[in-house]
Structures are given as structure tokens and as C-alpha cells.
Amino acid sequence: MRIILASQSPRRRELLERMGISEFEVIPAKAEESALLTRTLTPDQLVEELSRRKCAEVSAAHPDALVIAADTMVAVNNRVLGKPHSEKDAARMLAALSGRLHMVYTGVTIAQGVKSITEHEMTFVRFCTLSQADIIHYIATGEPMDKAGAYGIQGYGSVLVEGISGDYYNVMGLPVCRVARLLARFGVNSLALAVEKEQAK
């Protein structure tokens, strides 16, 4: 079965491989978030809709493939934080998250032919209180600039996180447990693929 990941995220690619899915293509979707969607949809609706659009775009060009698309957003007080547009924007986001509980949402859509399933995962994350120096130093690492909410929990941003409740991998950008269950509905058993991968070594 031909599998396509409709994302250029190296983290999502890594997580798919960790699940045992090593044979897949990466064909990023070009679908972008619109201001209208951000204003009219709740965070869970927003990530589902964006993942659905990304998946539909790639599926239209590759109708026989199984396409996996995802979109991740951070929300604090129902205000959505996407990827920062500048260092100033990143500093604003990090200051908003400092010492507070926020939610990370990831919408996932998997499609093959006319069959398509969309779901989302939500994880609670609490930041420790950040000083201005903490924010400046973290931004100087360059890590915040391509990540929703301006941080990466799997990298230097791990020192900002005081606690988490829910799927850790969801915060990285792909809720692997949910994705595995969705893939099973398309006849893809990630653990069986992992066995094949190990036996082939």
C-alpha cells in the first residue's frame, strides 16, 4: 500500500517511523490557515478542518494512496497560537504561556479514495514561569520559529514545561495512539509493520 504523509514536519516523519511505518512518501500540502477560520472555529474544529483540507489536497492528486495529514495548534484561553511570524511574535506567545496551563490540539485526517476519517487529540500542558531572559535565550536557539505556540517539547523547550496531561506525542505534532487506531480502520497495522521492520534488519 502506498502511504503519503502530507506534511514536511520532520517530527511527524520521525513519529511515523517510530510507529513502524518506514515505507512512506512525504508530499507536503500547501493549504494554509485563513484568518476567517481562526475567527469562526473553535480550536478543535480548526485543526480538524485544516487537516481535512491538507488531506483532500494531496488525495486529489494521488487518489489511490493512503494519505495522512495533520495540523497542530496551541490554545490559551481559547485563543489560538499558530507558528510565530517573527521573533517578536514568538516572544509574545511565550509570555502568554508563561506560568499557565494551555491546550495543544492536533487534527488528523486519513483518507484513501472516497473513505476519509478526521479526528483530533487534545493535551494539557503547563509552563513554568518564564523570565524575560528565559524567553530571549530560548528564542536565540532558533527552535521556536517553526513550531505552534513557539516551542518544541522534544527539544530545548522541554525545560519550559512544568507538567503535561495527555498524549505527549500530540504535543510533538502527531498523536500516535490515535493515528494507529485510525490506520487500523484502513487495514494498516503499525505493530505488524514494526515486526516486519525488525525482522528485516
The residues annotated as belonging to the active site are 71
Helix ranges (DSSP H) in the chain: 10-18, 35-40, 43-61, 87-97, 132-140, 168-172, 176-184, 190-199
Which residue carries 521573533 as its cell? 87
Q: Residue 179: exposed, middle, or buried by beta-carbon count in 10 A (0-12, 13-18, 19+)?
A: buried
Cα separation, 71 vs 15, in Å, equals 14
Contact between 156 and 146 under an 8 Å Cβ cutoff? The reply is no
Return the C-alpha cell found at 47.
485543526
Strand-pairing partners, residue 70, are: 108
Cα separation, 61 vs 105, in Å, equals 27
